[in-house]
Structure 1
Amino acid sequence: MIDVLVVDDDFMVARVNSGFVNQVDGFRVIGTASTGEQALERITELRPDLVLLDLYLPDLFGLEVITRMRAAGHDCDVIVISAARELDTVRRAARQGVTNYLLKPFDFDDLRIRLDRYAAQRAGLGTTVITSQADVDRLLSAGGPPRSAALPKGMSIETAELVKRALREAGDTLSATECANRVGISRVSARRYLEHLAAVGHVEVSLRYGGTGRPERRYRWRRA
């Protein structure tokens, strides 16, 4: 189980984000914090594996929290969740080794994909053996170990390959419904495979906004 600390100065946002995290298999929220100082106290007290960190806190800028956390010897991972879009902020976050950077506003699937990807990378890191310079180069260039190719329970390699082929041959984005029609499976099954492929980095996800209702999720094969 991956223990998560949620840091956000807005109580309702922290509550919503905590609910999102607790819906993802393998993750649980063990605490929340609304200020930078409180976040540092909770990190020392709770020792989370992962911190979901807002940058706009009332007492400290979020990146300062990371600096002080590292100086105190805490090695937990950080996913930034913020409305900050400034290039310099994103670059500074990357230099401080954040695992991911998610812009507000976002929906559950946006966060779930990143958590699933983090879990896959974390699991792979635990079994990675360095045997050559190539292994070192691959780890440093990718920001982590090679992503696990294992499929979640209930998925088949054969169907996954059909979904991959449909995306490659499409040459453009596909919705879950369009993919399902090409492969000959249900829309629910197609979406599950598509989201898994997105979580392990093989597929890019974009949103298409219509006149009403929720935006449609579109999937594109990520070319090497």
Structure 2
Amino acid sequence: MMISVLIVEDDPMVAELNRLYTEKIDGFHVIKIVNNGRDAIDFLSNHSVHLVLLDVFMPHMQGLAVLKKIKSSFSDVNVIMITANRASLDIKTALNHGVIDYIVKPFTFERFQSTLLAFSQRYKILHSEEELTQSALDKIISIDIPKLQSQHPKGINEQTLLTIKKLIKDFTHTFTVAEIADISGLSRISLKKYLDYLENQGELESELLYSTMGRPAKLYKISN
């Protein structure tokens, strides 16, 4: 089943970008683009729509007013806010009125895609005619829990960090950057940055090994 999407956005370039992003994802189809809230409500009154991508600042009817109207009159319609509005009170209002997500412009395709794929999974589970198992319910609940953005500093990639953690978790002895580089395929410069980051986080300890020649070598070990 295709998920029908209504885009409500008064900036033509942003609206087209939202359409392109949406239709790059399997299972989604943009049924209509409108540039104001009043036309959005009129369209929803006469067409079946599963998901609305909704801006906040628009003519004729602001996005939060549209959201409230959707939730009062079209309870089966899901809404994702896509806006430059960062006001905490407005974000709180949107969340209290049941938006699936609140995406701040500008955003990446990856961020947009993750939300739509999560929504697709949730939608399929909830519209299944089978009884839901606990694992299926857990998937729905995990989709609804807001995902915290990575708190790592610039230059620290979450996936790379997880890979390095897996490589070193079974080390019972000290190790050097060179040893991990040999088994990971990552550069020594990049690895040192990640190992030093893990040390700063308290997950690793280090000591310097001095020799009669050259610079001292830094030895790492898993913190106790």
Q: Given the two structures, how large is their TM-score scaled by the length of structure 2? A: 0.60
Q: Work out whether 1:54 is the aligned partner of 2:55.
A: yes
One-letter code aligned to 1:113 = S
Tell me the CA shift for residue 130 of structure 1.
6.0
Tell me the CA shift for residue 165 of structure 1.
6.7
Kindly indicate whether the alpha-carbon contact (under 8 Å) linking 1:7 and 1:32 is maintained by their aligned counterparts in 2.
Answer: yes
Tell me the CA shift for residue 70 of structure 1.
2.5
| Alpha-carbon spacing, 1:37–1:108, altered in 2? closer, same or farther (3 Å) | same
Greater C-alpha radius of gyration:
2
- Let me know the Cα RMSD of the aligned residues: 3.4
- Name the SS for the 2:74 alignment partner: coil
Kindly indicate whether the alpha-carbon contact (under 8 Å) linking 2:7 and 2:19 is maintained by their aligned counterparts in 1.
Answer: yes
Q: Residue 11 of structure 1 aligns with which residue?
A: 12
Q: Work out whether 1:78 is the aligned partner of 2:79.
A: yes
Tell me the CA shift for residue 11 of structure 1.
1.4
Tell me the CA shift for residue 141 of structure 1.
5.8
- Name the SS for the 2:94 alignment partner: helix
Q: Residue 29 of structure 2 aligns with which residue?
A: 28
Give me the whole-angstrom Cα distance separating, in 2, the residues matched to 1:167 and 1:79: 35
Give me the whole-angstrom Cα distance separating, in 2, the residues matched to 1:25 and 1:140: 20
Q: 4+ residue runs of structure 1 moved beyond 6 angstroms?
A: none
Kindly indicate whether the alpha-carbon contact (under 8 Å) linking 2:71 and 2:97 is maintained by their aligned counterparts in 1.
Answer: no
Q: Work out whether 1:102 is the aligned partner of 2:103.
A: yes
Give me the whole-angstrom Cα distance separating, in 2, the residues matched to 1:54 and 1:170: 44
User: What is the aligned residue count?
Assistant: 157
The percentage of aligned residue pairs carrying the same residue is: 29
Q: Residue 126 of structure 1 aligns with which residue?
A: 127
Give me the whole-angstrom Cα distance separating, in 2, the residues matched to 1:36 and 1:80: 13
Tell me the CA shift for residue 59 of structure 1.
1.9
Give me the whole-angstrom Cα distance separating, in 1, the residues matched to 2:143 and 2:123: 11
Kindly indicate whether the alpha-carbon contact (under 8 Å) linking 1:22 and 1:28 is maintained by their aligned counterparts in 2.
Answer: yes
Give me the whole-angstrom Cα distance separating, in 2, the residues matched to 1:10 and 1:144: 29
Q: Work out whether 1:166 is the aligned partner of 2:167.
A: no
Q: Point out where structure 1 has 5 or more consecutive residues left out of the alignment.
A: 146-162, 172-180, 184-224
Kindly indicate whether the alpha-carbon contact (under 8 Å) linking 2:122 and 2:143 is maintained by their aligned counterparts in 1.
Answer: no
Give me the whole-angstrom Cα distance separating, in 1, the residues matched to 2:99 and 2:81: 7
| Alpha-carbon spacing, 1:9–1:167, altered in 2? closer, same or farther (3 Å) | farther
Kindly indicate whether the alpha-carbon contact (under 8 Å) linking 2:9 and 2:36 is maintained by their aligned counterparts in 1.
Answer: yes
Give me the whole-angstrom Cα distance separating, in 2, the residues matched to 1:129 and 1:65: 34
Kindly indicate whether the alpha-carbon contact (under 8 Å) linking 2:5 and 2:52 is maintained by their aligned counterparts in 1.
Answer: yes
